[in-house]
């Protein structure tokens, strides 16, 4: 039972008990008065007995308050003083279904979220350090070669300079992508949402990318089953960024001469679904769930040539989740990668 019901009920019961005891005493006293007996030792004993009973009731009430309210709050307070976000934390245990039980559950969930955010930060720093270390090691190697080897030909010197420039450019791109990503994350906190007709929005995107992909000699096939007057509440600029990354990924990583891209839209329940698939090389099944991790790229060694920093899909996930939707990756029936995301329909 919830505390908001339990506590007033307890007070009402106590009050009724108290009234009943006073009434009993009064009836007893009036009865004796009618028989001509004035206040005597029997009344005094009765008054004493009732006072002790009332006293016991209040002691029971205080004990109840201590164990049911004060103690759990003290435990929570102690825990708040030393919130742990490490691996070895133990969650607060409570089988209660009332507000205190809910408070403990919410505290455990908050600790878990803090832990996840902390892990993400640590992983991201490790990934950035790793991604910067690799080109930096090559740059240092080439610079050392240039300064130590005195008998290099002009062609070799030129080649080494070009490699240094290429690696440096890649590092700058990575840092730019990273700072754009963090800026986006901050912007997402205060984005404006506007209602857009799903069908019209889908067709606009499809038209735009059909033209863009045809420029690479790739084909976009699209279909949707959105009805008129179905609206989504979105920040158009941000959702366009999502499509931008999905279509550019297909072009970048499809690695096929005549790539086919498939764009599908439909409604299920109270969500609209958008799906972008390709018949390119795809992503190994075991890597599918990692695609949305920050700085994750499937093939690190080829990444330098493609110029990707592995932040695009992480950013898509952030944007979609800020709109109340979900995003996932799957192996497409067409052979390549499929990405599906949902956006809630506005009612």
Q: Which residues bind Mg ion (CB under 5 A)?
A: 245, 249, 312
Indicate which of ligand ATP, Mg ion, none lies near residue 198 (CB less than 5 to 8 Å, by partner kind). none
Q: Of the candidates 281, 267, 268, 296, which has an alpha carbon nearest to the alpha carbon of residue 332?
A: 281
Contact of residue 265 among Mg ion, ligand ATP, none (CB under 5-8 Å per partner type): none
Q: Which of 242, 313, 319, 320 binds ligand ATP (CB under 6 A)?
A: 313
Nearer Cβ to ligand ATP, position 213 or 278? Answer: 278
| Among residues 224, 337, 341, 343, the one that binds ligand ATP under rule CB under 6 A | 337
Q: How far is the CB of 193 from ligand ATP (least distance, A)?
A: 24
Secondary structure (H, E, C), the chain: CCHHHHHHHHHHHHHHHHHHHHHHHHHHHHHHHHCCCCCCHHHHHHHHHHHHHHHHHHHHHHHHHHHHHHHHHHHHHHHHHCCCCCCCCCCCCCCCCCHHHHHHHHHHHHHHHHHHHHHHHHHHHHHHHHHHHHHHHHHHHHHHHHHHCCCCCHHHHHHHHHHHHHHHHHHHHHHHHHHHHHHHHHHHCCCCCEEEEHHHHHHHHHHHHHHHHHCCCCEEEEEECCCCCCEEEECHHHHHHHHHHHHHHHHHHCCCCCCEEEEEEEEECCEEEEEEEECCCCCCHHHHHHHHCCCCCCCHHHHHHHCCCCCHHHHHHHHHHHCCCCEEEEECCCCCEEEEEEEEEEC
Q: What CA–CA distance (Å, rounded) separates 342 from 325?
A: 5
Position 281 contacts ligand ATP (CB under 6 A):
yes
Q: Does residue 279 belong to the site contacting ligand ATP (CB under 6 A)?
A: no
> Closest CB to ligand ATP among 72 and 310?
310
Q: Quick check: 198 and 265 in contact, CB under 8 A?
A: yes
Q: Could you tell which of Mg ion, ligand ATP, none binds residue 280, using a CB distance below 5 to 8 A set by kind? A: ligand ATP
Q: Which is nearer to ligand ATP, 115 or 330 (CB)?
A: 330
Closest approach, Cβ 181 to Mg ion, in A, equals 11
- The residue from 124, 205, 291, 304 that contacts ligand ATP (CB under 6 A) is 291
Q: For Mg ion, which is the closer residue by CB, 232 or 251?
A: 251
The residue with its CB nearest to Mg ion is 312
Stretch that binds ligand ATP, among 27-35, 99-107, 147-155, 311-319 (CB under 6 A): 311-319
Query: Which listed range, 77-85, 88-96, 227-235, 296-304, lies at the site for ligand ATP (CB under 6 A)?
Result: 296-304
72 binds, among ligand ATP, Mg ion, none (CB under 5 to 8 A by kind): none
Q: Is 309 in the site for ligand ATP (CB under 6 A)?
A: yes
Q: How far is the CB of 90 from ligand ATP (least distance, A)?
A: 35
d(CA 304, CA 169): 10
Is residue 297 part of the contact set for ligand ATP (CB under 6 A)? yes
Using alpha carbons only, what angle is made at residue 334 by residues 310 and 307, rounded to the nearest 5 degrees?
20
Q: Site mask, ligand ATP, residues 235-274, x = CB under 6 A?
A: ----------x---xx--xx--------------------
Comparing CB distances to Mg ion, the nearer of 196 and 261 is: 261
Q: Where does this chain bind ligand ATP (CB under 6 A)?
A: 177, 245, 249-250, 253-254, 278, 280-283, 291, 296-299, 308-314, 336-337
């Amino acid at each position: 039972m919830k505390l908001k019901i339990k506590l007033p009920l307890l007070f009402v019961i106590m009050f009724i008990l108290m009234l009943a005891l006073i009434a009993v005493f009064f009836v007893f006293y009036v009865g004796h008065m009618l028989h001509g007996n004035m206040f005597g030792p029997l009344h005094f004993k009765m008054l004493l007995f009732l006072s002790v009973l009332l006293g016991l009731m209040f002691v029971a009430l205080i004990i109840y308050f201590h164990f049911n309210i004060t103690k759990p709050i003290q435990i929570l307070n102690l825990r708040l003083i030393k919130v742990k976000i490490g691996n070895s934390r133990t969650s607060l245990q409570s089988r209660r279904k009332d507000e205190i039980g809910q408070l403990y559950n919410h505290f455990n969930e908050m600790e878990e979220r803090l832990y996840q955010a902390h892990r993400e930060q640590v992983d991201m720093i490790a990934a950035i350090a790793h991604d910067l270390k690799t080109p930096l090691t090559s740059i240092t190697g080439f610079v050392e070669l240039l300064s130590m080897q005195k008998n290099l030909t002009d062609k070799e010197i030129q080649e080494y300079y070009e490699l240094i420039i290429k690696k440096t450019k890649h590092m700058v791109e990575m840092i730019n992508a990273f700072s754009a990503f963090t800026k986006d994350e901050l912007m997402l906190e205060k984005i404006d949402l506007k209602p857009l007709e799903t069908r019209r929005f889908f067709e606009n995107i499809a038209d735009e990318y059909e033209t863009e992909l045809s420029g690479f000699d790739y084909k976009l096939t699209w279909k949707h089953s959105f009805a008129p007057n179905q609206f989504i509440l979105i920040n158009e600029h941000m959702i366009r960024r999502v499509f931008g990354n999905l279509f550019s990924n297909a072009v970048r990583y499809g690695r096929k001469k005549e790539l086919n891209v498939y764009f599908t839209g439909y409604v299920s329940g109270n969500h609209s679904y958008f799906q972008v698939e390709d018949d390119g090389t795809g992503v190994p099944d075991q890597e599918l769930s990692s695609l949305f991790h920050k700085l994750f790229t499937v093939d690190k060694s080829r990444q330098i040539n493609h110029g990707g920093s592995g932040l695009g899909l992480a950013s898509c996930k952030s944007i979609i989740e800020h709109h109340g939707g979900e995003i996932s990756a799957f192996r497409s029936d067409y052979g390549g990668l499929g990405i599906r995301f949902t956006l809630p329909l506005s009612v």
